[in-house]
Structure 1
Amino acid sequence: MKRLTIIFALLATLGLTAWKLSTNKEKVEKKVYQPDVNLKVGVTTSVAALRNLSQENEFLGSFTPNREIEIKPLAGGEVIQLPINEGQGVRAGQLIAKLDDEQIRFQIEALQVTLEGYQNDLKRYEVLVKGDAVPAVNLERTQLSIRGTQAQIKQLKKQLENTTVTAPFAGIVTSKLIEKGSVVSVGAPIATITDIAALKLVVNIPEKSINQFKVGQTIPIETQVYPNVYFNGKVNMVGVSGDASHNYPVEILVQNRSTNPLKAGMYGSIVNDNQLKAQSLSVPRQAIVGSTKKAQVYVVENGKAILKDVTIGVANNEYYEITQGIKAGDQVVVSGQINLQNGTPVVAQ
């Protein structure tokens, strides 16, 4: 009897606990927010339409020489000729400096005498070997001595060439670092030559505009020193790595000219059209969700926000060109996307 009483008590306790839990669950569910699937979300929309997106951007940079090099000799010694001055123009191959080469010439002369002796010995040995008067090994040694001497002469002639220092290209002598009579070592700079027949205008372009530039593109250039005078520039390089501010270097080659000559260090500016078609299907920049590589937009269709993949082209400060994914006349959401999912009912405000 006592055992039955305990069992009934346990069953009653379990039933009471289950009832209590069920009651608490109902209370908690009433407190939890349950979204109304039929409730419409307020959004702001804009129409995808054909717009004139052409715009001009001005970028400022500075000119640098097309080529500039420090002249360094490949030989050492006393400078016996230095026919250059700072500011002087030089042509390619023109003499810059001449080093003392007397000792090298003496060595070449001595080796040539030695070579002549070996060649005479060779002729004698060739006759004697045929008559078995001397061993053939003497002939072989003489032939090797000739080859070794000829190699030494070639080496000294190369050293002799290195005592003559010439300009690798035409340009201006912008610095002369030694004087006639100086003793220089191999690789010591003696002068600097700068080529400004053409100059490079280097400008830093922000990320949003870098796609407007292509290698080979022709761009008009203005300068502060010659107002209202335009120079034709050609894009020579478009940087592939930006700095911390997301600016990319663009290098534009400009041919110098006798009228209105340019100098390295001058400022230049470019005015570049973004090269978009006059009329392009576009949407406001705010309509794009995701990244530019995987762009999407919400399009309002039958009162619902439908998420669509799009392909974007070039952009200006306000709009993105859309090349694929939507059509002209579509209503795209430009604000309120944070509250949307694909298929969410919406009302345009």
Structure 2
Amino acid sequence: MKRILVILALVATLGLTAWTLVNNKKEVEEKVYKPNAGQKVGVRTAVAELRNLSQETEFLGSFSPNREIEIRPQAGGQIISLPIEEGQTVGAGRLIAKLDDDQLKYQIEAAQVTLEGYQNDLKRYENLVKGDATPAVNLERTQLSIRSTQAQIKQLQKQVANTTVTTPFSGIVTEKVVEKGSVVSVGSPIAKVTDISTLKLVVQIPEKAINQFHVGQTLPIDTEVYPDAHFSGRISMIAAQGDAAHNYPVEITVSNSSKNLLRAGMYGSIANTNNVKSQTLAVPRQAIIGSAKQPQIYVIENGKAMLKSVEIGATTNDYYEITKGLKAGDQVVTSGQINLQNGTLVVAQ
């Protein structure tokens, strides 16, 4: 009797379990979305057409000054004049600093007195030599002394000239290292002058794109600081050797503008358009679904979305070349594919 009761309880449990599973299945099936076969799904479409495929690539770089120099004197001494300030615009030949040259001028004056003495001796020896009153060697020694003194005076005059420090080209004083009254030595920095009348935009171009550029090529330039301004530059140098990452520095010369002043260190970019293929069948990238090895496209035929396998060729940022599976004029779906199945009724929005 007890055995029969156990069997009945087991059968009841299995029956209850089976009923629960069937009931749960019905509830799940009721919750699952079932598309209405007669309802049209809204999609966005584009037309497969012949077009020229081109790839635009942007390269970012920074501007560097056309010229920049540290002003260093060729003489030493105390600075008695320093008529510059940082940020000041200076022209070519503008006085940067004047060093004390009094001691050199005194030496020149003494050498000139010595020279006059030798010149007077020369006149006397010339007369005496004519009368055989003195050896000719005295005349020769005096002539050599005159030439030596003249050379000494020229050397001192050159040193005096070196106490006047000027800028070699026009620019902006971007750094002033010393102050008036400072004592400087030969070659010690006094100031830095930067020329930004023209700038050099230096961009790193990868190996695969370097052959698209050549010296003398004119390119449009965009900047972050002046997004609405238009600049133009000319390639002045392409490096003969790349870095470890196979990037090649390309230098583009850009004329500066007083209206939209560019400064060294600002960012600039160039965009280079490379023609990938001419007059080939292409569709927007958004039309492709699936993987790159097995690409597919929904094509609108008689109001239905028909899923077709295609083969792709060249690609750009915006388009895929279709080499097989489509023809020019086919209407393809570019948005809304997630709601489609093969044969779904659609309406283009």
TM-based fold match above 0.5? yes
Write the distance in 1 (CA, Å) between the matches of 2:116 and 2:212.
Answer: 70
Q: 1:280 to 1:126 in 2, by over 3 A?
A: farther
Q: Which residue of 2 aligns with 1:137?
A: 137
Write the distance in 1 (CA, Å) between the matches of 2:83 and 2:228.
Answer: 40
Write the distance in 1 (CA, Å) between the matches of 2:277 and 2:110.
Answer: 80
Q: In the TM superposition, what whole-angstrom CA distance separates every residue of 1:14-69 from its partner, at most 9, and x where no partner exists?
A: xxxxxxxxxxxxxxxxxxxxxxxxxxxxxxxxxxxx99464321101011111111
SS of the equivalent of 1:55 reads strand
Q: Which residue of 2 aligns with 1:246?
A: 246
Q: Which residue of 2 aligns with 1:200?
A: 200
What amino acid sits opposite 2:196 in the alignment? I
Q: Give, in angstroms, the shift of residue 72 of structure 1.
A: 0.3
Please give the residue correspondences for 1:177-196 in structure 2 after superposition, counting only pairs within 5 Å: 177-196=177-196
Write the distance in 1 (CA, Å) between the matches of 2:121 and 2:199.
Answer: 62
Q: 1:210 to 1:53 in 2, by over 3 A?
A: farther
Q: In the TM superposition, what whole-angstrom CA distance separates every residue of 1:285-328 from its partner, at most 9, and x where no partner exists?
A: xxxxxxxxxxxxxxxxxxxxxxxxxxxxxxxx869xxxxxxxxx
Please give the residue correspondences for 1:218-257 in structure 2 after superposition, counting only pairs within 5 Å: 218-257=218-257
Q: Give, in angstroms, the shift of residue 248 of structure 1.
A: 0.6
SS of the equivalent of 1:146 reads helix
Q: 1:111 to 1:280 in 2, by over 3 A?
A: farther
Q: Which residue of 1 aligns with 2:292?
A: none
Write the distance in 2 (CA, Å) between the matches of 1:196 and 1:171.
Answer: 7
Write the distance in 1 (CA, Å) between the matches of 2:78 and 2:244.
Answer: 49
Write the distance in 1 (CA, Å) between the matches of 2:160 and 2:263.
Answer: 37
Write the distance in 1 (CA, Å) between the matches of 2:172 and 2:228.
Answer: 28
Q: Which residue of 1 aligns with 2:59?
A: 59
What amino acid sits opposite 1:153 in the alignment? I
Q: Give, in angstroms, the shift of residue 228 of structure 1.
A: 2.5
What amino acid sits opposite 1:186 in the alignment? V
Q: In the TM superposition, what whole-angstrom CA distance separates every residue of 1:54-113 from its partner, at most 9, and x where no partner exists?
A: 432110101111111110000000000000000000000000000000000000010001
- State whether structure 2 residue 125 is matched by structure 1 residue 125: yes
Q: Which residue of 1 aligns with 2:285?
A: none
SS of the equivalent of 2:114 reads helix
Q: Which residue of 1 aligns with 2:111?
A: 111
Write the distance in 1 (CA, Å) between the matches of 2:273 and 2:165.
Answer: 47
SS of the equivalent of 2:151 reads helix
What amino acid sits opposite 1:194 in the alignment? T
| TM-score, with structure 1 as normaliser | 0.64
Q: After TM superposition, where is structure 1 displaced by more than 6 Å over at least 4 residues in a row? A: none
Q: Give, in angstroms, the shift of residue 210 of structure 1.
A: 0.6
Q: 1:244 to 1:277 in 2, by over 3 A?
A: closer
Structure 2 unaligned residues grouped into runs of 5+ = 1-49, 281-313, 317-349
Contact kept in structure 1, 2:55 and 2:276, CA below 8 Å: no
What amino acid sits opposite 2:89 in the alignment? G
Q: 1:278 to 1:143 in 2, by over 3 A?
A: farther
Write the distance in 1 (CA, Å) between the matches of 2:130 and 2:276.
Answer: 89
Write the distance in 2 (CA, Å) between the matches of 1:225 and 1:246.
Answer: 29
Write the distance in 1 (CA, Å) between the matches of 2:160 and 2:186.
Answer: 14
Q: Which residue of 2 aligns with 1:343?
A: none
- State whether structure 2 residue 174 is matched by structure 1 residue 174: yes
Q: Which residue of 2 aligns with 1:96?
A: 96
SS of the equivalent of 1:165 reads strand
Q: Aligned residues: percent identity? A: 71
Contact kept in structure 1, 2:81 and 2:99, CA below 8 Å: yes
Q: Which residue of 2 aligns with 1:74?
A: 74
Q: Which residue of 2 aligns with 1:37?
A: none
Q: Give, in angstroms, the shift of residue 241 of structure 1.
A: 1.0
Write the distance in 1 (CA, Å) between the matches of 2:224 and 2:130.
Answer: 86
Count of aligned pairs between the two proteins: 234
Q: Which residue of 1 aligns with 2:269?
A: 269
What amino acid sits opposite 2:114 in the alignment? T
Write the distance in 2 (CA, Å) between the matches of 1:124 and 1:103.
Answer: 32
SS of the equivalent of 2:103 reads helix
- CA RMSD in angstroms, aligned pairs only: 2.0
